[in-house]
Chain A
Amino acid sequence: MEAILYIAALGGFYALVYYLNHKTPKPEGCEYIDAACQSCSVGICSNHPSQNIKKEDMIHVERS
């Protein structure tokens, strides 16, 4: 029981921090900081340009 409560609390803490982080606006001048990221090849990173491809564009690419 303690383990379940503990992991629930930890998961809840993560969810809270994640929500607060995404709610916090980026500082002035850093709105488009992601666009400056050109040196990394980690595709799963949220900064990677491939993460910004819209679903419609992906369908278009697949068809073409």
Chain B
Amino acid sequence: MEGFFTLFISAILINNIVLTKFLGMCPIMGVSRKTSSALGMGAAVVFVIFGASVFTYGLYYSVLKPLSLEYMDLITFILVIAAFVQFVEMVMKKFTPALYKALGIFLPLITTNCVVLYVTLVNITNGYSFMEMVVYSIAVPVGFTLVLYIFSTIRERLDNAPVPEAFKGNPIALIVMAIMAAIFTAFAGLV
């Protein structure tokens, strides 16, 4: 139980995917201008990463490994993630219009989010058990959402701040991201 807790806290704060690996920078920069969009994107990422991880984990151990096709994991996971996003979008359109209205706009973006592929691959390469995979697949997108939300609140304030002309837009955003990465290193001794 302690191992799961360590894995969970570590994936959210200490080894935050955005601030330590610099993955998922595209949606971080693109969808962080408004807090509402950031939360919507975060919720969609949590949902898709968890679903894609469970699906790819099952596919790897029930199909790829028995058939000795482990070398095809990368192409398999890319196709599975793309198909999963299409499937989720279709189900949302059909059965949960309210959820589609809230998250649907972010779903096409998630297909190009490298965090999804990273999590599915790490679940296999690190040899996680099913429960470890579940914990890790929830913790990583939660950490992603945390950073995205904090970053969006800062960017909203930056819109009204007297930023020098040369630093407006992406330059100041990247500086803020660098400072955030430095601050998050303070969590290193937490667990």
- Interface of A toward B, CB cutoff 8 Å: 2-3, 6-7, 10-11, 13-14, 17-18, 20-21, 24-30, 33-34, 36-37, 39-42, 44-47
Find out whether the CB atom of B80 lies under 8 angstroms from the CB atom of A33.
Answer: no
User: 20 extra interchain contacts, Cβ-Cβ under 8 A, other than A40-B31, A41-B29?
Assistant: A6-B63, A6-B72, A10-B79, A10-B83, A13-B83, A17-B83, A18-B83, A21-B89, A27-B93, A27-B101, A28-B97, A30-B93, A34-B105, A36-B105, A37-B105, A40-B37, A40-B109, A41-B30, A42-B27, A47-B109
Find out whether the CB atom of B76 lies under 8 angstroms from the CB atom of A42.
Answer: no
Within 8 A of A (CB), among B32-80: 33-34, 37, 63, 67, 69, 72, 75-76, 79-80
Checking B79, B93, B100 against A14 with a beta-carbon cut-off of 8 angstroms, the contacting residue is B79
In the bound assembly, the distance between CA atoms of A23 and B63 in angstroms comes to 30
Instruction: List residues of chain A with CB within 8 A of the CB of B37.
Output: 39-40
Find out whether the CB atom of A42 lies under 8 angstroms from the CB atom of B26.
Answer: yes
Find out whether the CB atom of A40 lies under 8 angstroms from the CB atom of B30.
Answer: yes
In the bound assembly, the distance between CA atoms of A42 and B72 in angstroms comes to 29
Instruction: List residues of chain A with CB within 8 A of the CB of B90.
Output: 17, 20-21, 24
